[in-house]
Structure 1
């Protein structure tokens, strides 16, 4: 295994692996992918109980990377968004009917299956070397290259890509700070089995404590993403399975029949975090190292995939024009990604505030007033085919300027 590469990627999660495969589509580039874990191990990603909603554009991207996913994809053919109290039959609804073809709708996939497909693709990619397991102990950025010590190995590269998560050590070493806020909430994530079919329906209920999403998986199973105050989620993790299922049925209704747990309950803290810059000297941030947003829109992984696709396009242009892949071309990546991420982060942060607003402000029923506003909004959107179409195209990732790798 050599010590000199064109690109060094630190972080072997989903976005890091996809970024490596995207860069490998560029002829002539050599890539090293480093992580503290064994990226090619069968155990990598095996404990990730989450699932992801892949937009139509993200699915096109992964297909062009030659990932084999079809057996594990569940189309979201229908969507119902409701607002109301726990145990109430919601009167206010936003409904998207099953009008789009399967090629245009988002599809759910369990992350563990995505890890397997990525691992198989990495093993077949001759341009990619896996470094590690090993931790980064030293990095030096110069105008001519990047020098890194990973475990006991010294690596040099023209470009360093940080895909090492929201607590990115690479970002911190580069002196890039972040802005954001804590939501004071956690998300409980698990999958459930049910006696009745879901028919591809994605349900999102906005409840007093926060949104609860029930998203279709293959078979008679669904992914649950329940966001609420930290204390409420800790309580939901602690109760018995029978009590948890009873509480869940109260919150989502009985349209799925009898419920049972299909995976362990896990929880994650919710916060907004945006890097103040997405680049530094010969450095690019991708995925959670660059941005973390509220999960209520289900767009976190799609944003990371757009990072990888955008970087592919920018590096491709640099190679075609004979420019340094670690030089000034990175500014185009930063500008392109900032506009996309900022727009989505602002929207999800605003929604999280509206749906998680305090009950009173200066003694007045603040959240009740916002509740009327959001319910009127749901009703207005539900009555407008044009607005609903716009929302669906946004969810598909087919609005605005986006990389060639994502286009139809």
Structure 2
């Protein structure tokens, strides 16, 4: 095996957005850092063809990316601004019966109006609620930045972790037989995180038995910077603003659908699939966006909620999906990962001069600082999903009444906007 000399720096295992942002944040602070993982080619942006992976970047994440020097590298014509959100509940078939002598709900009650919450950037004194950015463009500019700063990149895969003497560097073995020695191994290698497993850090969670369907759509009506979200009997549907194309207005769909239904759609031939999906979308959206046409390939991914506990140990820290997975209904997965990158870099930079970067006390400060945001976001997304999934008429009435009440209370709406604007 080929051994690399001992290092006083950090090794980021994983070369996606979270890993690149973490490496860049550390390098910006003068912390020696290197990357381990594949470097697959990123296709050049091509006219009206957009990456199916898009992210809703929060104001806090946008400010962090600007601080790292990469925000202004993103092509502005390929970014869409979310200026407001319109969140709608599904209408239950009946309203609850509240008196003992009333007829049964199935016979005599009237339909309940769907709940609705409208949020605007101006209510939170923000330039935007979020910016919709392509995943590949974000990765492209992060790669450029780590290259400019001279961050070493070993394009091999993680295989094993040697813990050895607690006072000695860790030994990371790659699939090419190389041994990399480091004071701190940072797992940014995804939900299945081989580094997390090798370090013995546990991860707990559950499957939603749902699939996230994503695709870009042509719509007849301009989106005007409004993100739309429906809580429907078929799951949570979101339409995010995208830059216009030569064909007109464009939005990106994210629909968390029960897996059996999602698989049935995914199995259809392309033309039949596009027709069936457009028809289902039209049923939910009505005339809100006008005529809908599928303009890309439909992709699906399983939906799960997971968290590592703990997310640090001596000489090992986790960021991004390696540390936590949440439901995509709030579009906060990327923002949490960027928050991890910022938090870990801050904890390491602000450590006492006599502590090493892999000191457990330093890493625990990072974990404690991130705990409130991670817990709040997991509780919010998981709670909302479970609240809106059951189709019980009484629960539906409670949900819609609650949404209507929140929509009439500006302080609560401002609090929701403030929470969503953070990491």
Tell me the TM-score normalised to structure 1 length. Answer: 0.88
Instruction: Decide whether the 8 Å contact of 1:44 with 1:115 is kept in 2.
Output: no
Conserved? CA contact 1:82–1:90, under 8 Å: no
Q: Structure 1 residues 90 and 246 mapped into 2: Cα distance closer, same or farther (>3 Å)?
A: farther
Task: State the alpha-carbon separation in 2 of the partners of residues 86 and 256 from structure 1.
Answer: 23
Instruction: Give the deviation of 1:2 after TM superposition.
Output: 6.1
**Are 1:223 and 2:252 counterparts?**
yes
Query: Are positions 1:49 and 2:52 aligned together?
Result: yes
Moved over 4 A (4+): 1-4, 43-48, 85-90
Measured after TM superposition, the shift of residue 211 of structure 1 is 0.8
Taking the aligned partners of 1:389 and 1:168, their CA distance within structure 2 comes to: 36
User: CA shift at 1:284, angstroms?
Assistant: 0.1
Cα distance between partner residues in 2 of 1:235 and 1:86: 25
C-alpha distance in 2, partners of 1:11/1:43?
20
- Does 2:336 correspond to 1:303? yes
Q: Which residue of 2 aligns with 1:197?
A: 222
- Two-structure CA RMSD over aligned residues (Å): 2.4
Per mean C-alpha deviation after superposition, the further-off stretch among 86-95 and 224-233 is: 86-95
SS at match of 1:204: strand
Distance 1:47 1:324, change over 3 A: farther
Alpha-carbon distance in structure 2 between the residues aligned to 1:226 and 1:158: 42
- Go from structure 1 to structure 2 and tell me whether the alpha carbon gap of 1:393 and 1:61 turns closer, same or farther (over 3 Å shift): same
Give the secondary structure class of the aligned counterpart of 2:183. Answer: strand
> 1:118 and 2:124 equivalent?
no
**Where do 5+ consecutive residues of structure 1 fail to align?**
360-366, 403-408
Aligned to 2:261: 232
| Structure 2 CA distance for partners of 1:44 and 1:136, relative to 1, 3 Å | farther
Q: What SS does the aligned partner of 1:176 have?
A: coil
Q: How many residues align?
A: 384
**Is 2:112–2:397's contact at 8 Å kept on the other side of the alignment?**
no
* Match in the other structure for 1:275: 308
SS of match in other structure, 2:256: strand
Q: Compared with structure 1, are the counterparts of its residues 339 and 102 closer, same or farther at alpha carbon in structure 2 (3 Å cutoff)?
A: closer
Question: Structure 1 pair 282/317, CA: closer, same or farther in 2 (3 Å)?
Answer: same
Question: 1: CA distance between counterparts of 2:44 and 2:15?
Answer: 9
Matched, 1:130 2:158: no
Counterpart CA distance in 2 for 1:113 and 1:147 is 33
Q: Secondary structure at the match of 1:38?
A: coil
Which SS does the other structure have where 1:388 is aligned? helix
Partner Cα distance (2:128, 2:288) in 1 = 26
- Residue from 353, 372, 395 that aligns with 1:339: 372
- SS of the residue 1:343 aligns to: helix
Matches within 5 A, 1:6-405: 6-27=9-30, 29-35=31-37, 37-38=38-39, 41-43=41-43, 49-67=52-70, 68-69=73-74, 71=76, 72-85=78-91, 91-97=114-120, 99=122, 103-126=127-150, 128-132=151-155, 134-141=156-163, 142-143=165-166, 144-150=168-174, 151-219=176-244, 220-239=249-268, 240=272, 241-318=274-351, 321-327=353-359, 328-357=361-390, 359=391, 367-397=392-422
Please give the per-residue CA displacement for 1:334-393, whole angstroms capped at 9, x wherever unaligned.
Answer: 112222211211121111111113x4xxxxxxx222211111110010000111111111
Q: Aligned to 1:232, what secondary structure does the other structure show?
A: helix
Q: 1:200 to 1:49 in 2, by over 3 A?
A: same
1:305, 1:204 → 2: CA distance?
A: 24
